[in-house]
Amino acid sequence: MTVRVERTDEFDVEPAQLWAFIADPANRARAISVVESFSIDSADGRRCTWEVTLPIPFFDRTATVETYDRVREPPTNVEFVGQSSALDVTGRHEIADRDGGSQLRSEFVVEGRLPGVERYFTRKLDDELENLRRAAERAFERESTEGSA
């Protein structure tokens, strides 16, 4: 079974600023609640390893998810894929200019390889995209505050 969630969010920042946030795999990893830790594994920043803890029955270990940016088209598109023994994930982010701000269209697809993975993400995947939106807003607020000091 595959779980798919799409979401569109508006931001009061230029597309280049949104691109700088969303294209950074560390920002994406930090925003996902089940990612316990991560490491950037390549000099170009396109490979990232997530250590994921899933709150599902009979899974009492951390899953290592090897991710890499499959598509990177500044400043409008980034797509990453991740693979592990527990799940596969694909994330797509498209940025568009919107009246002095920007729009982020995100799609996450999770394919579970263990019982309970799909059920968990069916309930929580939209929450994870909300976490990403909030992380972006906090980053933009920090930049705004630092820029005005």
Question: What six digits make up the tokens of 133?
Answer: 């939106």
Cα 30 to Cα 35: distance, rounded to the nearest angstrom: 7
Nearest to 24 by CA among 136, 102, 110, 121: 136
pLDDT at 8: 97
Cα 91 to Cα 82: distance, rounded to the nearest angstrom: 9
The alpha helices in 24-75, defined as continuous H runs, are 25-31
H or E, element range at 123 = helix 117-148
pTM greater than the 0.75 cutoff: yes
Cα 35 to Cα 63: distance, rounded to the nearest angstrom: 9
Instruction: Tell me the per-residue pLDDT of 52-90, one tens digit each, with 9 for 90 and over.
Output: 999 888 787 899 999 999 999 999 999 999 999 999 999
Residue 147 pLDDT grade (very low, low, confident, very high; cuts 50, 70, 90): low
